[in-house]
Amino acid sequence: MKAEYTISAIVSGVVVVGLLFLFLASPAPVQQGSALSPTGAQTKAVSTGVPYTEIVNPSGFVNTDGVTIKELVGKKVIVVDFLTYSCINCQRTFPYMKALYATYKDQGLEIIGIHTPEFAFEKDIDNVRKAMKTFGITYPIVLDNDYATWNAYGNQYWPRKYIIDIYGNVVYDHIGEGSYEETEMKIRELLAERAQVLGMNAPATDSALAVSEMPAEITAAESPETYFGSSRNRYLANGTPGRAGEQTFSLPQTSSPNVLYLGGTWSIAPEYAESVSSASAVYRYNAKNVYIVAEADTAISVEVLQDGMPVGDAGGEDVSGGVVVMKESRLYKLIRNPQAGEHVLKLNVKGKGLRLYAFTFG
């Protein structure tokens, strides 16, 4: 990058400035992301030298009074983990993230969770605090309620992980679930580099990987994430997608796969459908597990039927005696079948005020 040598130096300078502009320019705002299953996971090769992006306009902190990436560069290897607490794809990564943190935090690893909400209730710091406590997450969580950090990274997915080395460079980028062993091996590599830079003894690498001893969560869902609110209810089969307001629905005699049917009177808002009185929802799905994101101001009982019968032994951990009681703003686990297959799920809502946000599958 020199040629006799002035002309080459000028050209090199222009190239460097151009590259810096590409890396540092703010991406176009991204207002809505996607949750990715393991089958949709991707790992992107990131060239050494891509500078980290700082946390932008945090809305609050959990498990810390405050944190920045700048204060950790040169001291730690940093995992920046984009998440939102009601997302099942994120929830399935939590045990692995906790194992990595427990294993490597004393060797120089820091994890920073960037909590970018999919739904409005996930902006409530008390809800986030409660969720992190429930999941046993102790590393710092940054509330990103206005998507400022999400947009600064140009992110579009929950979950997504970036790893920043001791020099402050983003050297690893993984979208979605999975690749846990690959991620841990990269962390080990970067911690060894950190130890060398800081003149410390290299951490031992002859032990088994922490994540290799954990049971794998295999998903076989063929049904799509399905939203109830008018802003994204394109799978609503017996109504008009995109239409808001109070509406009365009639259930058909038969159902098609992978579409949503409502019964009774519902008030449709952009993010959710709220029961106006006792009502129902039907979905013919193909998966092993079924989840729903919901909330209510007062506890509401919901009967869970599968293939026309009370769910029984296939009920998820939130179901007891074929009934789930919903109040907290969170994801509820409705169905856990022995194996994946096609079934008809029906929810009979016993009262008004239940807000349903989305079905997800595993």
Per-residue pLDDT reduced to its tens digit, 167-208: 999 999 999 999 999 999 999 999 999 999 999 998 887 789
pLDDT band at 37 (very low <50, low <70, confident <90, very high): very low
C-alpha span between 217 and 229 (Å, rounded):
29
Look at residue 346 in the predicted model and tell me its pLDDT: 98
CA distance linking residue 9 with residue 5, whole number of Å: 6
Q: Are 121 and 85 in contact (CB under 8 A)?
A: no
Give the pLDDT confidence score for residue 15 in this predicted structure: 32
Pairing of strands 77-83, 226-227: unpaired
Sole residue written with tokens 């929802």: 281
Cβ proximity of 262 and 275 under 8 Å: no
pLDDT for 342 equals: 98
Rounded Cα distance between 273 and 294, Å, is 10
Exposed / middle / buried, residue 29 (Cβ in 10 Å: 0-12, 13-18, 19+): exposed
Residue 198: Cβ-neighbour burial (10 angstroms; 0-12, 13-18, 19+)? exposed
Q: Using DSSP, state whether 292 is helix, strand or coil.
A: strand
pLDDT tier at 227, thresholds 50, 70, 90: very high
Q: How far apart are the first and last CA of the chain?
A: 52
* Range name among 47-51, 86-90, 274-278 with the lowest pLDDT average: 47-51
CA separation for the pair 152, 170 (Å, rounded):
14
The burial of 139, by beta-carbon neighbours within 10 Å (0-12 exposed, 13-18 middle, 19 or more buried), is given as buried
